[in-house]
Amino acid sequence: MVSFMDLAYFAALSLVSPVWAWRLLRYPQKYRQGWRAKLWGDVPPRETSLPCLWFHAVSVGEVNLLRPLLVEIQRRLSSVEVRLSTTTRSGFEVANKKYPELSPFYCPFDWSWAVRRAVARIRPSVLVLTELEIWPQLIAEAKNAGARVAVVNGRLSDRSLRGYRVAMPFLRPTFERLDAVAAQDRRTAERFIALGVPPDRVFVTGSLKFDGAECDRSNPHTQFLRELAQIACDETVFLAGSTQEGEEAAALEVFRRLGPSFPRLRLILVPRHPERFDSVAELLRASRLPWVRRSELARDRPLPVHWPDGQQTAVPPALGSQGAIPVPSETPQQRPFRPVILVDTVGELGAWWGLADIAFVGGSFGNRGGQNMLEPAGYGAAVSFGPNTWNFRDIVKSLLDAEAAVVVHDVRELEAFVRRCLEDPAYARALGQRAQNLVLSHRGATLKTFEILRGLLSAQEKAPGLKLRRSA
């Protein structure tokens, strides 16, 4: 039976169908994968009768931030089965790489028939939604099947709050159905309450991002990447991560201007979206700088450097990691530059941040609202980001209040920040130390969230008269 929400989704889909058709044609691998699960709820069924926590994480960022919580659950709740769903292709790939034992799958779209079938096949005891995944029909079907529903690492921006308030006549029952919200901060908790979540079900736990931020630069993955990319310990790494269009060009411009004066400077670019890897490669080809692709690096092999004339040469490790590589120049004097590294792989940014001495966190010059700046902060890098960081407002406020990060408004200010870090290493070290201390002082959200979920599991098991549907 088609519901009111199905009709609403059909209406919305008809408006955006030309955009979806264009995306399907341009990015077929991204948008066509997993259609049986997305459209029909044809997800891998559970075979056991154990209690089950179904975690849903949209993309790579949410999958990664769940790591400490999943580790805690697997360590302390061995009799509970955990399943993990994602929405995006990149999230699905990272989930399968990091948590193959959780049988990751694509979460169905919020069509009534799809979510009903998925819930029947997974039979969750608790449906756990990460950050802000409020899907009315998925939540309703989970509740109808006897499951509890929780939001963890909850966040609610000003823009999201305005949107939900407009739709309150339709969405208030959905918020009222939530059994628990683990909010990142008190402001977010008050917003969930204003949208209809009963106050006694809302808890302030802090952000899982603090607990998930690695602080040890000597971790095996980071050290492997240092060796793979042939980055010497005495080189200074400027890393621009989670970048969107325009931000790679800004970082390249800074590197071009400062490289001749600071010949030990290295630049690493990590675009946010895989579909932009090739366009950033084209940008590098046009930059007249030597560069390498992460996907072409191999351990104990020469560095495969791309040159401005389109040729590719293998630079021996001694030259790639210790000697400056001259690049053609329009001026009589050729300037030395070290190869720029384009990270064209998914799921490694957290480890690459461990190589950064100077960091620019992308998604902050444009309209994305910022990206996770706690990862470079945890490693003690000198952190900078643009002015548009509304998705991380409270974290940004904490960093700025602690004098642990710098806001740069344009490429000129970014260059000034990087130059100061290079000219005054003590300033950069102090900035990074304050950032790392802030991350360490805010840890604890994992244990608080774990206790909330354990309480929901216990309450669900004791609830009378609730029977989960058999898998379909």
Same domain membership, residue 193 and residue 254: no
Phi, psi of 218 (to 5 degrees): -90, 10
> Taking the C-alpha atoms of 27, 30, 35 and 38 in order, what is their torsion angle to the nearest 10 degrees?
-120
Phi, psi of 245 (to 5 degrees): -55, 135
Confidence of residue 251 (pLDDT cuts 50, 70, 90): very high
Q: Please classify residue 39 by burial: count the beta carbons closer than 10 Å to its beta carbon, then call 0-12 exposed, 13-18 middle and 19+ buried.
A: middle
Confidence of residue 320 (pLDDT cuts 50, 70, 90): very low
- Which residues constitute the domain of residue 452? 32-206+444-462
Q: What is the pLDDT of residues 42-58, one digit of tens each?
A: 999 999 999 999 999 99
Residue 329 lies in a domain: yes
Phi, psi of 57 (to 5 degrees): -125, 130
Residues 154, 130 contacting (CB under 8 angstroms): no
Residue 328 lies in a domain: yes
CATH number at residue 134: 3.40.50.11720
Measured distance CA(205)–CA(98) in Å, rounded: 25
Name the pairing type of β-strands 291-293 and 81-86. unpaired
pTM: 0.78
Please count the structural domains in the chain.
2
Residue 15 lies in a domain: no
Measured distance CA(240)–CA(349) in Å, rounded: 10
Same domain membership, residue 338 and residue 202: no
What type of residue sits at position 248? E
Residue 14 lies in a domain: no
Residue 214 lies in a domain: no
Provide the pLDDT for residue 467: 40
Name the pairing type of β-strands 291-293 and 340-342. parallel
Q: What is the pLDDT of residues 151-198, one digit of tens each?
A: 999 988 888 888 888 888 888 999 999 999 999 989 999 999 999 999
Same domain membership, residue 163 and residue 58: yes
Confidence of residue 302 (pLDDT cuts 50, 70, 90): confident
Measured distance CA(125)–CA(123) in Å, rounded: 7
- Flag whether pLDDT at 463 surpasses 90: no
Residue 1 lies in a domain: no
CA distances from 471 to 23, 41, 45, 205, 290 (A): 33, 11, 6, 34, 55
Residue 11 lies in a domain: no
Same domain membership, residue 414 and residue 391: yes
Three-state secondary structure readout of the chain: CCCHHHHHHHHHHHHHHHHHHHHHHHCHHHHHCCHHHHHHCCCCCCCCCCCEEEEECCCHHHHHHCHHHHHHHHHHCCCCEEEEEECCHHHHHHHHHHCHHHCCEECCCCCHHHHHHHHHHHCCCEEEEECCCCCHHHHHHHHHCCCEEEEEEECCCHHHHHHHHHCHHHHHHHHHHCCEEEECCHHHHHHHHHCCCCHHHEEECCCHHHHHCCCCCCCHHHHHHHHHHCCCCCCEEEEEEEECCCHHHHHHHHHHHHCCCCCCEEEEEEECCHHHHHHHHHHHHHCCCCEEEHHHCCCCCCEEEECCCCCEEEECHHHHHHCCEECCCCCCCCCEECCEEECCCCCCHHHHHHHCCEEEECCCCCCCCCCCCHHHHHCCCEEEECCCCHHHHHHHHHHHHCCCCEECCCHHHHHHHHHHHHHCHHHHHHHHHHHHHHHHHCCCHHHHHHHHHHHHHHHHHHCCCCCCCCCC
Same domain membership, residue 457 and residue 429: no
Provide the pLDDT for residue 294: 97
Q: What is the pLDDT of residues 321-356, one digit of tens each?
A: 444 444 444 333 344 688 999 999 998 999 999 999
Same domain membership, residue 455 and residue 421: no
Q: What is the pLDDT of residues 59-116, one digit of tens each?
A: 888 999 999 999 999 999 999 999 999 999 889 999 999 999 999 999 999 889 999 9
Confidence of residue 3 (pLDDT cuts 50, 70, 90): confident
Confidence of residue 22 (pLDDT cuts 50, 70, 90): low
Same domain membership, residue 386 and residue 454: no
Same domain membership, residue 245 and residue 367: yes
Provide the pLDDT for residue 393: 85
Same domain membership, residue 178 and residue 112: yes
Percentage of the chain with pLDDT > 90?
71
Residue 7 lies in a domain: no
Provide the pLDDT for residue 6: 59
Provide the pLDDT for residue 472: 43
Measured distance CA(361)–CA(359) in Å, rounded: 6
Mean pLDDT, rounded, for 465-472: 40
